[in-house]
Amino acid sequence: MYSVLSRDIFSGERAVKIGRRNNTTITSLKKKLWKIFSIYIRMRDCLETTGTTTHGKCCTCGRDYPIGKLQAGHFIPGREDSILFDPACVHAQCYRCNVQRSGEWVKYFRFMEKKYNREFIFGLMERSEKKCLITVGWVELTMIYYLEKIEEMEMETVNV
């Protein structure tokens, strides 16, 4: 199964093949899932901020970027399994804010507080400290879920 993403929208990113091989590890599956999840996050936030899937705004600096120049930045650093693929904890960020400025945590906090609320943020923080076991089955189901969400967003933008 391949996602329906075209190369030009994502600046050369390739479609992700999902399928099980005998030598597939949880780590390799999580990498595939991250690629799909990242595309979902960037598309979701582009649609939310600009109404299109071709460009969107960084959640911390507010600048407009082509979707291929945006990253899926975590509000809580550390890549803990319990929140790694939580869409409420990940939003579109530019490279400058996400990498060069270490996530712009204060600006990200303000963004999260405005979008959600403090109670929700503290709940994410608590959850990030809990252990979570990610299984092969969960990863595969989650890949399918986000591929379907991506297709829905693509269909929405075509039908508009």
- What pLDDT does residue 156 have? 86
Average pLDDT over residues 143-153: 97
Please state, in angstroms and rounded to a whole number, the distance separating the CA atoms of residues 118 and 61: 20
Full-model pTM: 0.85
Q: Identify the band that residue 2 occupies on the pLDDT scale cut at 50, 70 and 90.
A: very low
Average pLDDT over residues 48-71: 97
Radius of gyration of the chain (CA): 16
Say if residue 131's pLDDT is above 80. yes
User: Looking at this protein, which amino acid is placed at residue 23?
Assistant: N
Give the C-alpha distances (Å, rounded to integers) separating 20 from 1, 23, 39, 135: 11, 8, 21, 13
Q: Identify the band that residue 1 occupies on the pLDDT scale cut at 50, 70 and 90.
A: very low
- What pLDDT does residue 12 have? 42
What DSSP string describes 75-104? SSTT--HHHHT-GGGEEEEEHIIIIITTT-
Domain ranges of the chain: 26-159
- What pLDDT does residue 8 have? 36
- Where b means 16+ CB within 10 Å and e means fewer, 71-109 reads bbbbbbeeebebbbbbeebbbbbbebbbeeeebbeebbe
- What pLDDT does residue 78 have? 79
Say if residue 11's pLDDT is above 90. no
Share above pLDDT 70 across residues of the chain, in percent, rounded to a whole number = 85
Share above pLDDT 90 across residues of the chain, in percent, rounded to a whole number = 76
Say if residue 72's pLDDT is above 50. yes
